[in-house]
A and B are shown apart, each in its own frame.
Chain A
Amino acid sequence: SQTIHQWPATLVQPVGSPLSLECTVEGTSNPNLYWYRQAAGRGLQLLFYSVGIGQISSEVPQNLSASRPQDRQFILSSKKLLLSDSGFYLCAWRRLELGTQYFGPGTRLLVL
């Protein structure tokens, strides 16, 4: 069976500090991978997605970046965090043959 991991689960960072969030998927190969952010009480905002190693599509211009160094690894980064980067960050993978998408447990980020 497939599982998706995210870490850390929670993170408190000062403004201006760097960020690295990691997502890994087990039990599948060549999945589409996605990063979303959800502000408190709001909907899902798609940040980045990847259809393969090294292939990144950005949905919203901002101070975040994403990388996919391995088939089942997806990393979200920032060089300098802003207060507005606070939120619930969700990684997801997609089963292409059915189109179904599954979310990881998420990372709750608070920027102070």
Chain B
Amino acid sequence: QKEVEQNSGPLSVPEGAIASLNCTYSDRVSQSFFWYRQYSGKSPELIMSIYSNGDKEDGRFTAQLNKASQYVSLLIRDSQPSDSATYLCAADFGNEKLTFGTGTRLTIIP
């Protein structure tokens, strides 16, 4: 069974601090990984994709991929109250579909 695991949280971070979200996956074959943000009552929104080992930065967001250790993380710098949401990690195991984690609920405390 190919799986993606996330700590369900909730994770509380003070405003202005760095929020760190982690995800592990079960299959070394995975090549592509994605982070989605889902606000309460809304559909998930793609915020980052990462395909190779290392870091990928986009504004306040940095995705980190370590294929040897089979984990992917998302760092949010200078956290804002608007970052409060559930963050979903997803992996492409090469079987026509993405496998999603159950999500981590993040709360930014003003």
A interface with B by C-beta (< 8 Å): 32, 34, 42-44, 46, 49, 51, 57, 90, 94, 98-106
Q: Does B46 contact A (CB under 8 A)?
A: yes
Contact with A along B41-64 (1 / 0, CB 8 A): 011111001000000000000000
Q: Are B88 and A44 in contact (CB under 8 A)?
A: yes
Of B14-22, B65-73, B74-82, B99-107, the stretch lying at the interface with chain A is B99-107
Taking a contact as CB atoms closer than 8 A, the residue among A44, A102, A105 that contacts B100 in the complex is A44
> Are B49 and A100 neighbours in the complex by a CB distance under 8 Å?
yes
Q: How far is A98 from B31 in the complex, measured between Cα atoms in Å?
A: 11
B96 to chain A: which residues have CB within 8 Å?
32, 49, 51, 57
Q: Across the interface, name the chain A residue whose C-beta is closest to B103.
A: A43
Task: Contact check, A99 vs B32: say whether CB atoms are below 8 A apart.
Answer: yes
- Residues of A near B49 (CB, < 8 A) are 98-100
Interface assignment of B85: CB less than 8 Å from any CB of chain A: no
Interface mask (B27-39 → A, CB under 8 Å = 1, otherwise 0): 0000010101000
Cα A101 to Cα B97 in complex, Å, equals 9
